[in-house]
Amino acid sequence: MGISASQVKDLREKTGAGMMDCKRALVETDGDFEGAMTYLREKGLATAQKKSGRQTSEGTIGSYIHAGGSVGVMVEVNCETDFVAKNEDFQELVKDIAMHIAAMSPLYVEAEEVPADLIEKEKAIFRVQAKESGKPDNIIEKMIDGKIKKYLNEICLLGQPFVKDSDKTVGDVITAAVTKLGENLQVGRFVRFKVGEGAEDSEGSSEGEE
C-alpha cells in the first residue's frame, strides 16, 4: 500500500524519529500507525520516547488571563536546562498550554493522576448504561474500557484535543516540542481560577494532592 507524506509527518511528530525511519516503519507495518510507533521504539529510533525518562529540573511558570479577567491560569512546564527554559519556542509552548487550560478546563495533567475511586465510580455508571444494551458481558467490558479511555482524555490535559489544532492532542504538541528542542519536557502542575468558583474546585490535580 502507498504511504502518504502526511502519514510520515504525523509519525515523525509523534515519535521524533527521522523521516526515512518513519516511512520505513509505516511500510514495514502496512501503514498501521500504532504498529509503526512500536516498530520505531523497538529499533530505538523514537527519540521523543528516549528523552521521556530524563530529569526535568528547569523550566518556567506561565500564566494566562482570559475573558476580561474572569478566568486565570498558572502552569509549570519543566525542561532539562535553563537554556531551553529561556528559548522563545519553549516560552510560546508554555503560553499555549496555559491558554488551552483556560479554555478547556482539564482536571488533571495525565491519566495516571486520576484517583482510582473516581475511575471505579465512572465504570459503575458506564456499566449500568452498557447493560441496558443487552449485549454479552465481554462486549460490555470492551464498551466500558472505551468509555473510560474517552472520559480520561476529556478530563486530562495531555489527552485533550489541542485548542489551537484539534487534530492533535496536547500530548502530541508537547512531543513535537521535545523533538524540536531536544529535551524532555513535562507539565509539572497547573491551577485554573474562575471568578465565583472556589480554588479547590479549579486546581490542577498536582496541586490538589499536596
CA distances for 65 relative to 10, 197, 202, angstroms: 32, 15, 14
Whole-number mean pLDDT of the chain? Answer: 84
Residues 106 and 67 both lie in one domain? yes
Give the separation between CA 137 and CA 134, rounded to whole angstroms: 9
Same domain, 77 and 119: no
Same domain, 133 and 198: no
Each residue of 147-202: pLDDT tens digit? 999 999 999 999 999 999 999 999 999 988 988 888 889 999 999 999 887 644 44
d(CA 45, CA 170): 22
Domain span holding position 46: 5-51
Cell numbers describing residue 63 = 500564566
- Say yes or no: 144 and 176 in one domain: no
Number of domains composing the chain: 3
Q: 7-35: per-residue pLDDT in tens?
A: 888 887 777 676 777 888 888 888 888 88
